[in-house]
Structure 1
Amino acid sequence: MWFVIFFVFFFLLYLLRSVLMPFVAGILLAYLLDPLTLKLQKCKMSRTWATVLVCFLMILIVLPAIFLFLGMVESQVTLLVQATPKYLALVLEKARPALQRLAERFPGLIGGNLEEMIKGNIGNGVKFAGALLKGLIANGFAFINLISLILITPIVTFYMLRDWDTFVRKFEGLLPKKSKKGIMESMKEINVIIAGFIRGQLSVCLILGLYYSIGLKLVGLELGLLVGFIAGVISFIPYVGSITGFVLGIILAFAQFGDVTHVMYVVAVFLSGQFLEGNFLTPKLVGDSVGLHPVWVMFALLAGGVLLGFLGLMLAVPVAAIIGVLVRNMIKRYKQSSLYLE
C-alpha cells in the first residue's frame, strides 16, 4: 500500500516538475522561517501578524540581495569575456618553449606551426566562451522562471507559514492510531535532520562564499568575486565546492599573473577556508548529529538534479533524510526481531 502511494506521488512529481518549483520553494521557505515565526508568537504576536512581519523582512533582505547578485554576475562575466584574450595570450607566452619542443619532437603528429595554430583558434575560443556564457545566463533565467518565482513563491510562503500549525494538526489527524506514535517519532527525527542540515549548511555556504570572495579579491584575482561565489554555492555539495573553486582559482591566477607566487596565494585562501569549514563552521553550524553522510548527500543531489532538475535539487536533502530515517528504523526493528536474535 505504502509503496503504491509513494510510486504515484513521485510519478506525479515527475509529470508536474515544470510547474511545481515555486510551490516547493514556498513550502521550503515556510519551513525554514517557521522557527522565527514561533519566536514572534511567544512575544504575544498573532500568527498572522508574525507571518506578515517575517515575510516583509524576507522581501526586504532578499530583493536587494538579488539585484546585487545580478549586478555582480553581469560585471564579472563581462570582465571574463574582456580578459579572456589577455589570459590566453599570457598562457601562450609562458607555454611557448614547451610548445615549440613538442612541435619539434612530433612534427608529423602536429603538422605545422603549433603556436600559429593555437593563436588562430584563440579568437574562436573567445567567441565560443562568450556565447556559452550568454547561453548559460539565458537558460538560467528561463530555468528559474523569474516571473513564477517572484509572484507565486511569496504567496505560497505566506499562506503556508500562516497555516503551518493547522497543516501539521490535520496531518496528525489523518495518521492511523495504531502507528501514530511511531510515525510522529520518525517525523520528529526527520525534522531535526532536515532543519539541522539545511539551515546549517546554508550558513556554511554563505560564510564560505564571502570568505573566498574577499580572500581572492585581496589576492588581486580579477574574477575573485565570481570564483568565490561559485565555490560558496556549490559547497552545499560536500567537497565539490572547494575543489571547483580551487581549480578555477589556480587556473585564473596563472592566466592573470603568470607566476607561482599568486597561485600559492590562491592555494592559501582555499586551504585556510577548508580549515575554517572543517574545524569550526561545519561542527558548530551543522554538527555530526544530522545523520546525513556526505556521500549520501552527493548522490541525492545528483540523482535529484538528473531526475527533476532544479526541483530535484530542492527536494534532494529532505528525501534523503526521510529515506535515511526509514532505513535506520528498519534496521533497528530487524535487530530486535527473532530473525536477528536467533
Structure 2
Amino acid sequence: MRIEWQIVFWVAALAFVGLLLWLFNGVIMPFAAAFVIAYLLDPLAVHLQRLGLNRLSATLVILFGFVIVLALILVLIVPILTHQFAAFIQVLPSVLNKLQGLVSGAVRTLGAQYAEPLLRKLGLRGSGLPSISTSVGDIAGQAAGWMAGVLNSLVVHGAALISLMSLLIVTPVVAFYMLLDYHRIIAAADSLIPLRYRSVVHQLAHQIDKTMSGFLRGQSLVCLFLGLWYGLGLSIVGVNFGLLIGITGGFLSFIPYVGSMVVLIAAAMISLVEGWPHWGLFASAMVVVVIGQFLEGNVISPKLVGDNVGLHPVWLMFALLAFGSVLGFTGLIIAVPVAAAAGVILRFMVQKYRASHLYSSLPEAHMIILTDVVKAPEEH
C-alpha cells in the first residue's frame, strides 16, 4: 500500500474513533474507567495466579477487596467530606470578605509607611495609593464572586454528581468482566495486527505500557500519599476544613502542580483568616504544605513515578484540558493513556524520520561542493 493511502487510512480511523467517543460520550465513561481499573489491577491478578489461584478466583478476591475499600470510604470519609464541604460553602463569603479586609488593611499600612514617602519624594504626593488599595479590593471582591459562583454551580448541577455516584455501581461490574478476560481481550486485539508490522507494534506497545503504567500506578500512589499527608497534617495543626483541602489537593495532584497550588492557596487563606492576628496557625499550615511538597518532589515522585516515564507535565496538562473540554469526565479518564500513546508514537515517527533518506539527503549542489572540498587536499 502506498504511503499516501496509509496516511489517509490512519487519519480516517482516528477521525472515526473520535466520532464514536463524541457520540457515546454519555455512556462510555464507566467502560473507560473499568478498562483503566482492569489495566491497573492486572499485575495483582497475575501475582495471585502465581500463588495458586485461577483467574476467576483472583478476580473475585480483587473485586471483594475493592468493594470493602469502597464501602469503608463511603462510610468513614464521604460523610466527613460532605459535612465539611457544606460548611465550607456557608463560611466562604465571610472568609473572603475578611481576607479582603486584611489585604486592604495591609496595603494601606504598607502604603502609609513606605509608599507615601516614596511617592512624595518622586513628586506624586501619594495620589496613586488610594487607587492601589481600591484595585486590590476590587480584585478580591471579583475573586469572591467567582468562587461563590463556582460553588453554587456545583450545588445546582448536583445531578452530575449523582450520576457520577451511580457509576460506582456500574464500573465495578464492568471492571470485573474486563479484568477476568483482560488477556483474552489483548490477545484478540493482537491477532488483528498485520504480521509484517507485528514486531514494530509490539515494540511500541511495550513502550506505551511502560510509560502509562509507570505514570498511572506511580502517580496514583503519590496522590494517595499527598491526600493523607495534607488532610491529616492540616487537621492535626488545627486548620478548619483540613481534611477537605488535603483530599481535594491529593486528588488534583494527578495534574502536575495543580494539587500543590490548590492546597497552598486554600490552606494559606483559611489559616490566615482563622488565626489572625496571630501567625502560629498560618506558619504551622505552611510547614505541613512545604514538607509535603518537598517529599513529593524529592522522595515520593522520584521513587514511585521516576523521571523516565516520558510524559512531560506540559503535554499531560494539555491532554487533560483538551480531552476534558471535549469529552468531559470521560476525556479526563482517557487523557493519560492517549497522551502516553501519542508521545511514544510521535517519538517513534521522529526517530524514523531522522533515519530516512528525506532527512539525511543533501541537494545535488551541496554534494558537489562537499566532493570538491574532500578532493582538494588530495590534489595538493
Instruction: Tell me the TM-score normalised to structure 2 length.
Output: 0.78
1:209-268 Cα offsets, whole Å, 9 max, x none, are 111112211221111111111211111111111111101111111111113332222222
The aligned residue for residue 32 of structure 1 is: 40
2:253 paired with 1:241: no
Residue number in structure 1 paired with 2:65: 57
Once the 2 structures are TM-superposed, how far is the Cα of residue 59 of structure 1 from its aligned partner?
0.8
**Distance in 1 between residues matched to 2:35 and 2:218, nearest whole Å:** 18
C-alpha contact (below 8 Å) 1:90/1:256 kept by paired residues? no
**What does 1:101-180 align with in structure 2 at a 5 Å threshold?**
129=148, 133=151, 135-137=153-155, 139=157, 141-143=159-161, 145-146=163-164, 148-180=166-198
- Residue 15 of structure 1 aligns with which residue? 23
The amino acid of 1:230's aligned partner reads T
Aligned pairs, how many? 328
Aligned equivalents of 2:279, 2:346: Cα separation in 1: 49
Distance 1:144 1:178, change over 3 A: farther
| Structure 2 unpaired stretches of 5+ | 1-8, 112-125, 132-136, 362-380
Deviations 1:113-166 (A, max 9, x none): xx9xxxxx9xxx89x94x863641453552561464133212211111111111
Unaligned 5+ residue runs, structure 1? 110-114, 116-120
1:204 and 2:222 are equivalent in the alignment: yes
The alignment's C-alpha RMSD in Å is 2.9
- The C-alpha deviation readout for 1:88-121, integer Å capped at 9, x for no partner, is 675476467569899x989x99xxxxx9xxxxx9
| 1:175-254 alignment runs, 5 A limit | 175-254=193-272
Contact 2:223 2:253 in 1 (8 A): yes
Corresponding residue number in structure 2 for 1:112: none
Query: The residue matched to 2:309 in structure 1 has which SS?
Result: coil
1:186-225 alpha-carbon deviations (Å, 9 max, x no partner): 1111111111100100100110111111221122111111
Closer/same/farther in 2, CA of residues 188 and 271 from structure 1, 3 Å limit: same
The SS at the match of 2:57 is: helix
Closer/same/farther in 2, CA of residues 241 and 140 from structure 1, 3 Å limit: farther
Does residue 290 of the first structure (1) align with residue 290 of the second (2)?
no
Q: How has the CA–CA distance of structure 1 residues 192 and 93 changed in structure 2, closer, same or farther, with 3 Å as cutoff?
A: closer
The 3 A distance-change label for structure 1 pair 53 and 336 is: same
In the TM superposition, residue 68 of structure 1 has moved relative to its aligned partner by 2.9
CA deviation after TM superposition for structure 1 residue 3, in Å: 1.2
Cα distance in structure 1, aligned partners of 2:103 and 2:10: 62
Contact kept? 1:77, 1:133, Cα under 8 Å: no
8 Å contact 1:253–1:262 — kept in the other structure? yes
* Alpha carbons 2:99, 2:269 under 8 Å: kept: no
> C-alpha separation between the residues in 2 aligned to 1:216 and 1:185?
46
Partner of 1:316: 335
Q: Which has the larger radius of gyration?
A: 2
Question: In 1, are the aligned partners of 2:228 and 2:246 still within 8 Å (CA)?
Answer: yes
Matches within 5 A, 1:63-74: 63-74=71-82
Change (3 A) 1:89 1:304: closer
